[in-house]
Structure 1
């Protein structure tokens, strides 16, 4: 939009020279101004006569915040006072600070007032009951500005140290949840320059002046930088205000300019040439704005926005200017999906119109649901109301209201993150990572490797705007969405070839978008919005195209010739689609598992799917559990086995840490991930280090360090007899810990042995692989021998049956391990147990000679008498 030079409004002397502030009441009937003298002025909207004066007030009032019935003002002598708009008189003091007040802000419900001062704390005081007081002190710096978000759930503090501190007000006591650094600059308490957080009316972002004299928009969900209103001012910005619908932004600076910006494209649509403006207030409903100056003047502009652009004020509430707006999918008409999160519903009316009510009722005044995890938004408004006959044919109208709208699992690309600001990770794995930066007209893509001796990092200018990627030792794969008339593109770049390196691109049919893709050593798999699975060779030859049974498709993963796809299946009783998976060998055209169910708890979703370094499928779900698939090469035999429940990690046992984990890979029998602190759900820049955790099948909760410390304190106060008892109890705990460790080793090695045996059975095994399987079997028996020693040491003959059961689990067919077990029993004086073990060994050897099946469990002729 082109800028326009607007006329000057008339200056009205209101106060003496110094800080002067103004604010409209929410209903727009009055404008309140405060200043350096001991007078507060009330201007009636539409009345050009003299204002009403309130003389019974403090001097040097520097802040004001209004409601329809009252307003509060803060002064440099540290007093915050309550004034009635019914009587136009001072009513009472609310609170007092020992140092000058700098800003006050009423909460949206007008029940609390936040007070910023030169003290190191901020007060949050009840307006009607000032004994209701909260002191915010986690920031520990003087605060220059305070502001509530439109819903009153967040209070932002702009402090003199150049940091914005974000407090959550949803709990019983305010809690510091974020520090936004690198946006505002350091400044003095009494500086005219502004660093106030100004919330956009839709509540999803705020604008704030920067030291570079620009205006930066920051999103609420991830606190990252979004669009910038740039190159408007040549001096420090002193005031900032959104129009009531968020379509326009007004700013003033020390360059004697007052500008009006278009929110949509961040362009200047009007310019006022007026000096010393330090506060701006938009009228709530009219094309009027008022602003005050450091000279004590008030200016009321009756036609603040010129006729050319005044229609923008009549628009409904406009969205905040995001680089990547999470509401864009809804605006483009994409089908609403959830990632395992139920759509919000209202109580059913019990009538034939209940379904229509669910679809048509507004969720809130903004007509959208805020999605805190960045996965998208679920739209429930704006749908055409279905006719009664179109719901469930053949059923009475009274029963049609029980129809449940299916909730699909949303598609996702494993190892990628959503946009945060102008950056996004396209791929994170053990090979390296791929990330992109939005440069408005184009993107820049960077590929970095962990092993720089094997590959060199590279980056390139991306005009296709790729939003998904895969990375392996052989190459990197990218895809971009369709846009306007341009189709979606799949791009493969090999790292090295024995000929000249050749990149290739393939265009998908018009309108078909890539949902997820995977890259293995032999094939490229692309799943699309047309519900196709497209298989290519590494050099772009289409190998297979098919439509899976489970749609819409959710994601995919691959390893060598195997491809795993996931999709939405039948609808369950809760209205959520079942998540189904299929695994097939593309080269042999064999289906290993066909439309089997992904094992998920209620309301849980899959966050990532990948193959381990040994080629076994793994998933990581939203409960923080890592699972692997056992016997997946044999049709109808596969089942999911938990490898690790991150909620049970010892590092979380104290309850003091709040962290989650972003899955990367399973390799070397460990879970590789990125630790996310606080409430983060995705990693961000700078790139965090990878962490690894050993497997631990969930058997019991991790011990609490707090309880252990308390128990030790109590033991110090016991007498000698109780101390001896405590020592025995401690020995028992050590034995239990050793037994738990051996149990974990047995289960994990048994699982590893089963997966390796499955692979050797279905592939051409090598001598080293067969030797590895033999070593695993031997390690399992050694673990059982240690387990037997614990059993023999822990008790007498009464634990003999359990000890014999441990021996029966041994896999050795030669009898050597059974013989070693007998010696352990004799060492601990377990005579009867030793006899039973020798009998078991003789039966095992005899069975082996007959060629029968022995070991690994109970035989058919086992009964209770064997014990």
Structure 2
């Protein structure tokens, strides 16, 4: 279990505007510059004030550094070299007539490339400013310029959306490739980036696309190979490979920094930092520095979480590994080597005509194309005729060929579509829907089916029963009505809705899908009806049958759920290296025509299955998987912010530890802050008839388990430890519920009762913190740091809870802690007064 990295504080470095940075190659310093004339040099590992250099040149847009010098390009068109120790200007390297936009320095530090609003990019020798190379093919000004690791190639990002690749190994640079459309058209002042970022091994380029994806281009043929997709919901403003190329960091205008794994193109971590416009990895440490348009510098220690640290510690890893044309691909042709056959006898040369294959290819002494690289005997016992050609003795008969064809066939493992709340047929009956409102089941009568709708609350709704000639195989039930869907039979697939109450003579309606289209899953909310079909269409209707919207889902449909105006759909997404398809989900507000989450990943382990998908009574999406874990989606109303949080792991229930090992749980709903389910016994996987009773369990987030007791532990010590664990779990859980409730009222017109409920939840959370603080005080003086941290985490605005915390410290004779808590309360009240004055 790894500790969460401490969020770095922003260091005010420059006035708001473009803020640039770079590390020295040895990683000892990070240098920043911005819209003002100041240049700041920070020593890594030291919290002291940076060295400030102010030479009067303002608006720096380009930066590069060696271990003993750094180079700055400014809006006035000048490029100066500075001594890093003294901070003095050493010499003017180049002067442009228009603003300098970017600088890049070769790996050996001998050449500096200067991109500006001029049409020509200049490459200047850092020791001899008269030694200049010119890149002249651009028709517009340049926004970015970058060297590859060898210093042989330079990539120029032009403002017209064209990327130019030059070879600068010779005296006169040569244009190698002109890539039109590989990058975005951007103005020089735009915060979005079109920089070409070379992979550390030199085999690939990373480019930000207009689609907000990152494309990887091979440097062997300058073609796109793979991409990092579905990451940012805003323009990409910066991207940077880790020193070994196994990770990629990207920043966007959506207020996110994303950490990607190169080999899988998966997002490992999301960080919330707004207005980030430049990124730079430390050359050797787990550290990322970045600057914002607010003029701030952030130095993020332990940027890569501990569970992924091994990836950062790998040797340099290819960006094209696993790509369609990567160097490890089967498309790469191995060199043919003269190699003796086993036994030392060389293969005879092909005989025949003067234009035989050996002559055409110049393979006078070449060995067979089949190589025995690993000594597995591929070239042994190969029958040859007198002309050195293979006979047909190696060929199989028809049956053998079919076996080989079957052996080579590969198909990914995908999640089968399912209807939430339904069960498979058992005998002649099954449940079409089972939830907190009631149950819908059907019985096969051979010539037709009979459907029963049974409510829990018979005072509110009356049960009903009808003959079903359509043979409905899916159903949804809520307090407003019942929705059915049937497969194609004698006619097309059918959707049927029956409201529970109506003020007209007839309120039910039925519609048919186009021929050949089947229903994979349906959902019913208080506002809309949703159907996922075999054509991957999402069909949305009003409650009384008006077609409202039809669109095609990006992934192969699996299931869906609905709540009020929200539609939650799940499909089969990309296939992983082991052959299992990951599942993706989308959430849309139909009424406002807004997409809250778009094709994000469902957090379910590879090889596991979804058992149910539903909204809680508070309107939060929930899933339950075959591992017995219930998860809720947090921050789902904000694009790009959603994450799956475990509410309960049923494998850790206390009742299982008491010998009830044969139990399983069939999920029904999340309501009234409890998990409602049906307990299955005897190896059953689904409920059967008669309708079983519902059970409910309290949520328990899997935070930690009790450590083994020490030999000198007393019963009081054990009780205190258990109390601490219980309070910790309660704090994490209530903090989650507070977050979910805050998201709800922030996106709706909050009522007075909701605002009062929010205040109550904050107080309840503070009470838990107060109990945790008491446990820490009871443990001893050496736990004071954690106790103070708990006090600082309180939401208390009136000072009452902090006063209670001070009294708890006083009760346990923790005088220093008491004073510090009172200082916290005083600072908080003073801060509130200042906010009131500003308001």
Q: Using structure 1 for the length normalisation, give the TM-score.
A: 0.49
| CA distance in 1 between partners of 2:439 and 2:706 (Å) | 33
Find 2:486's aligned residue among 480, 503, 506. Answer: 480
Determine the structure 2 residue equivalent to 1:760: 745
Task: Map Cα deviations across residues 49-70 of structure 1 (whole Å, 9 max, x no partner).
Answer: xxxxxxxxxxxxxxxxxxxxxx
1:433 aligned counterpart, secondary structure = strand
The correspondence of residues 336-351 of structure 1 with structure 2, limited to 5 A, is none
The correspondence of residues 90-101 of structure 1 with structure 2, limited to 5 A, is none
Displacement after TM superposition at 1:850 (Å)? 2.2
Determine the structure 2 residue equivalent to 1:649: 653
Task: Map Cα deviations across residues 625-647 of structure 1 (whole Å, 9 max, x no partner).
Answer: 00000000000000000000000
Determine the structure 1 residue equivalent to 2:816: 832
The correspondence of residues 613-762 of structure 1 with structure 2, limited to 5 A, is 613-701=617-705, 729-762=714-747
Is 2:819 aligned against 1:813? no
CA gap of 1:506–1:643, structure 2 versus 1, over 3 A, is same
For the Cα contact (< 8 Å) 2:706–2:725, is it kept in 1? no
For the Cα contact (< 8 Å) 2:634–2:740, is it kept in 1? yes
Determine the structure 2 residue equivalent to 1:564: 568
Find 2:548's aligned residue among 543, 549, 554. Answer: 543
Displacement after TM superposition at 1:657 (Å)? 2.6
| CA distance in 2 between partners of 1:819 and 1:497 (Å) | 57
Displacement after TM superposition at 1:530 (Å)? 1.1
Determine the structure 2 residue equivalent to 1:491: 496
| CA distance in 2 between partners of 1:572 and 1:774 (Å) | 45
| Structure 2 gap ranges (5+) | 1-369, 371-398
Find 1:843's aligned residue among 823, 827, 839. Answer: 827
The correspondence of residues 24-63 of structure 1 with structure 2, limited to 5 A, is none
| CA distance in 1 between partners of 2:706 and 2:684 (Å) | 24
Find 2:464's aligned residue among 458, 468, 472. Answer: 458
Task: Map Cα deviations across residues 347-397 of structure 1 (whole Å, 9 max, x no partner).
Answer: xxxx9xxxxxxxxxxxxxxxxxxxxxxxxxxxxxx9x96999xx9xxxxxx
Find 2:511's aligned residue among 506, 514, 518. Answer: 506
Find 1:522's aligned residue among 527, 542, 545. Answer: 527
Displacement after TM superposition at 1:498 (Å)? 2.2
The correspondence of residues 581-596 of structure 1 with structure 2, limited to 5 A, is 581-596=585-600
| CA distance in 2 between partners of 1:784 and 1:470 (Å) | 42
| CA distance in 1 between partners of 2:706 and 2:586 (Å) | 35
For the Cα contact (< 8 Å) 1:413–1:517, is it kept in 2? yes
Is 2:440 aligned against 1:434? yes
Displacement after TM superposition at 1:406 (Å)? 1.8
CA gap of 1:635–1:433, structure 2 versus 1, over 3 A, is same
Displacement after TM superposition at 1:649 (Å)? 0.1
| CA distance in 2 between partners of 1:602 and 1:851 (Å) | 49
CA gap of 1:500–1:386, structure 2 versus 1, over 3 A, is farther
Displacement after TM superposition at 1:835 (Å)? 1.3
Is 2:758 aligned against 1:773? yes
Task: Map Cα deviations across residues 752-807 of structure 1 (whole Å, 9 max, x no partner).
Answer: 111111111111111101110000001111111111111112x2211101111111
Is 2:409 aligned against 1:424? no
| CA distance in 1 between partners of 2:780 and 2:408 (Å) | 63
For the Cα contact (< 8 Å) 1:649–1:702, is it kept in 2? no
Displacement after TM superposition at 1:744 (Å)? 2.1
Determine the structure 2 residue equivalent to 1:789: 774
Find 2:538's aligned residue among 515, 521, 533. Answer: 533
For the Cα contact (< 8 Å) 1:819–1:838, is it kept in 2? yes
| CA distance in 2 between partners of 1:617 and 1:457 (Å) | 29
The correspondence of residues 372-411 of structure 1 with structure 2, limited to 5 A, is 404-411=410-417
| CA distance in 2 between partners of 1:740 and 1:777 (Å) | 20
| CA distance in 2 between partners of 1:818 and 1:549 (Å) | 51
Determine the structure 2 residue equivalent to 1:798: 782
Determine the structure 2 residue equivalent to 1:328: none
| CA distance in 1 between partners of 2:586 and 2:833 (Å) | 42
1:733 aligned counterpart, secondary structure = helix
Find 1:469's aligned residue among 441, 463, 475. Answer: 475
For the Cα contact (< 8 Å) 1:650–1:702, is it kept in 2? no
For the Cα contact (< 8 Å) 2:582–2:606, is it kept in 1? no
| CA distance in 2 between partners of 1:800 and 1:502 (Å) | 67
Determine the structure 1 residue equivalent to 2:606: 602
1:683 aligned counterpart, secondary structure = coil
1:751 aligned counterpart, secondary structure = helix
Determine the structure 1 residue equivalent to 2:380: none
Displacement after TM superposition at 1:501 (Å)? 3.4
CA gap of 1:844–1:549, structure 2 versus 1, over 3 A, is same
| CA distance in 1 between partners of 2:638 and 2:629 (Å) | 24
CA gap of 1:656–1:430, structure 2 versus 1, over 3 A, is closer
| CA distance in 2 between partners of 1:772 and 1:802 (Å) | 29
Displacement after TM superposition at 1:503 (Å)? 1.5
Displacement after TM superposition at 1:742 (Å)? 1.4
For the Cα contact (< 8 Å) 1:662–1:675, is it kept in 2? yes
Displacement after TM superposition at 1:699 (Å)? 2.0
Of the structure 1 ranges 739-748 and 434-443, higher mean CA displacement relative to structure 2 is found in 739-748
2:714 aligned counterpart, secondary structure = helix
Displacement after TM superposition at 1:403 (Å)? 7.5
Find 1:446's aligned residue among 440, 443, 452. Answer: 452
CA gap of 1:806–1:588, structure 2 versus 1, over 3 A, is same
Displacement after TM superposition at 1:701 (Å)? 4.7
For the Cα contact (< 8 Å) 1:653–1:702, is it kept in 2? no
Is 2:557 aligned against 1:573? no
| CA distance in 2 between partners of 1:653 and 1:402 (Å) | 46
For the Cα contact (< 8 Å) 1:534–1:545, is it kept in 2? yes
2:835 aligned counterpart, secondary structure = coil
Displacement after TM superposition at 1:500 (Å)? 2.2
CA gap of 1:659–1:852, structure 2 versus 1, over 3 A, is farther
For the Cα contact (< 8 Å) 1:648–1:701, is it kept in 2? no
Task: Map Cα deviations across residues 136-179 of structure 1 (whole Å, 9 max, x no partner).
Answer: xxxxxxxxxxxxxxxxxxxxxxxxxxxxxxxxxxxxxxxxxxxx
Displacement after TM superposition at 1:465 (Å)? 0.6
Task: Map Cα deviations across residues 299-330 of structure 1 (whole Å, 9 max, x no partner).
Answer: xxxxxxxxxxxxxxxxxxxxxxxxxxxxxxxx
Displacement after TM superposition at 1:502 (Å)? 2.0
| Structure 1 gap ranges (5+) | 1-350, 352-381, 392-400, 712-721, 854-867
CA gap of 1:493–1:656, structure 2 versus 1, over 3 A, is closer
Displacement after TM superposition at 1:813 (Å)? 2.1
Task: Map Cα deviations across residues 432-481 of structure 1 (whole Å, 9 max, x no partner).
Answer: 00001111111110000000100000000111111110001000011111
Q: Using structure 2 for the length normalisation, give the TM-score.
A: 0.51
Displacement after TM superposition at 1:402 (Å)? 7.8
Determine the structure 2 residue equivalent to 1:612: 616
Displacement after TM superposition at 1:672 (Å)? 0.2
For the Cα contact (< 8 Å) 2:580–2:606, is it kept in 1? no
